[in-house]
Amino acid sequence: MKKRVILGLIISLNILALANCQNTDKNPANNGDDDIPVPEGYTLFWNDEFSGTEIDLTKWEHEVNAQGGGNNELQYYTDRPVNSFIENGKLIIQALKETYTGAEGTRDYTSARLRTAKKGDWKYGRFEIKAKLPYGQGLWPAIWMLPTDWIYGGWAASGEIDIMELIGHQPNKVYGTLHYGGAYPNNVHSGDFYTLAEGNFNDNFHVFTLDWDETSFKWYVDGVFYQEQTEWSTEGHDYPAPFDQFFHLLLNVAVGGNWPGNPDASTVFPQRMEVDYVRVFKKTGK
C-alpha cells in the first residue's frame, strides 16, 4: 500500500511537471483575484493589482541607468522609493527635477523604469493596463514590450511593441507602434494614434489594451478599438518574425529626448504615472 501511494504520488508529480513544460508561457503569476472581469474567450494568466505596500519584486525589477534610452533622454533611472512606490493601491512612477549622481554620472532629472523580464514573459495574449499619465513639455510616459531573448539581433530586428506612448505637450493623444525590420539604423516602424474627444490623459485613469496573436495586433483605449496591424517583417527571417518570440512588459516615464523634446519653463515637476493594474489574459485553451 505504501509503495502504491508513493508510486501514485510520483506519477501525479510527473503529470504536473509535464503539464507545466507544455505551457507555452513563461512565469505564470495569476494572483487568483476572482472578482477581476475576464474577457469572453480568455483566462487571467498574470496580473498585479498593486494591493500591497511595496512593489512586488517577484514580478518587477528596476532598470538603473543613465544611458538615455538611445534617444538622448535626460533622466537617471533609479530604484529609489522616491521614484517608484505603491500608494493607495497604485504603482507610482515619479519623475523629479533634481541633481542626482550615480555610477553612470550626474543627471538633472530622475525617474524609474520597471520591467517584468524573466519574471513575466509572454508570446501572444491580451494586455490590459489602467493608468493615469503625466503631462507637460518633455515628459514621455510609456507602456511597452521588448523581446526577452534577442533572437533576431539588436534593436529593432528583434522587435518592439509600444502599447501606449504619450508626449507631454500633446496630453490628449496616445500612440501605439510596432518597431521591426533590421538593426538600427535599418529599423522601421508603423502605428497610429488615439485622441480623446475631450479632456487629457492626466485628468483620469484610462485603460490601454493590446490584443496580440500569431498574425495581428489590435489596440484599444477604454475599450474603443483604434488600429490593427497585420504586416511586419525582420531582415533574413520569415513572417511572423520578429513577433513570434517571448516579450516582457516595461513601464517608465522618460524625461526629454529626441521625440518629446526637453522640458522647458512651462514643465511642472514632480510628474507621475499612476498605474492601477496590469493584467495579462490568454485565450482559453492556448
Instruction: Examine residue 156 and say whether the peptide bond preceding it is cis (omega within 30 degrees of 0).
Output: yes
Distance of CA 133 to the CA centre of its chain: 14
With vertex at residue 164, the alpha carbon angle to CA 163 and CA 165, rounded to the nearest 5 degrees, is 135
**pLDDT tens, position by position, 68-81:** 999 999 999 999 99
Residue 18 pLDDT > 60, yes or no?
no
Report d(CA 39, CA 16) in Å as an integer.
Answer: 27
Residue 144 pLDDT > 90, yes or no?
yes
Asked whether the beta carbons of 132 and 273 are under 8 A apart, the reply is yes
User: Are β-strands 75-77 and 105-111 bridged in parallel, bridged antiparallel, or unpaired?
Assistant: parallel
N- to C-terminal Cα distance for the chain? 38
Cell numbers standing for residue 256: 526629454
Instruction: State mean pLDDT over 128-146.
Output: 99
Length of the chain: 286
**pLDDT tens, position by position, 228-253:** 999 999 999 999 999 999 999 999 99
Cell numbers standing for residue 154: 539588436
Kind and range of the H or E run holding 121: strand 121-122
26-63 burial: b if 16+ Cβ within 10 Å, else e: bbebebeeeeeeeeeebebbbbbbbeeeebbeebbbbb
Percent of the chain whose pLDDT exceeds 90:
87
Residue ranges of domains in the chain, CATH in brackets:
2-283 (2.60.120.200)
Instruction: State mean pLDDT over 148-152.
Output: 98
Residue 276 pLDDT > 70, yes or no?
yes
pLDDT interval class at 9 (50, 70, 90): very low
Instruction: Compute the mean pLDDT over every residue in the chain, rounded to the nearest whole number.
Output: 91
Active site residues: 160, 165
Which range, of 1-5, 56-60, 187-191, 271-275, averages the lowest pLDDT? 1-5
With vertex at residue 131, the alpha carbon angle to CA 42 and CA 198, rounded to the nearest 5 degrees, is 105
Which pLDDT score is estimated for 285? Answer: 79
Instruction: State mean pLDDT over 42-57.
Output: 98
41: left (phi over 0), alpha (psi -120 to 50) or beta: left
At residue 22, the 3 state secondary structure works out as: helix
Q: Is the dihedral of CA 103, 109, 111, 117 positive or negative?
A: negative
Which pLDDT score is estimated for 16? Answer: 37
Instruction: State mean pLDDT over 164-188.
Output: 98
Instruction: State mean pLDDT over 192-197.
Output: 99
Which pLDDT score is estimated for 11? Answer: 36
Residue 170 pLDDT > 70, yes or no?
yes
Contacts of 31 (CB under 8 A, 6+ apart): 47, 48, 49
Report d(CA 62, CA 161) in Å as an integer.
Answer: 19
pLDDT interval class at 145 (50, 70, 90): very high
Instruction: State mean pLDDT over 256-278.
Output: 98
Kind and range of the H or E run holding 161: strand 160-165
Report d(CA 73, CA 183) in Å as an integer.
Answer: 20
pTM of the model: 0.89
User: Are β-strands 139-147 and 75-77 bridged in parallel, bridged antiparallel, or unpaired?
Assistant: unpaired
Asked whether the beta carbons of 74 and 261 are under 8 A apart, the reply is no
Asked whether the beta carbons of 140 and 255 are under 8 A apart, the reply is yes
Instruction: State mean pLDDT over 70-99.
Output: 98
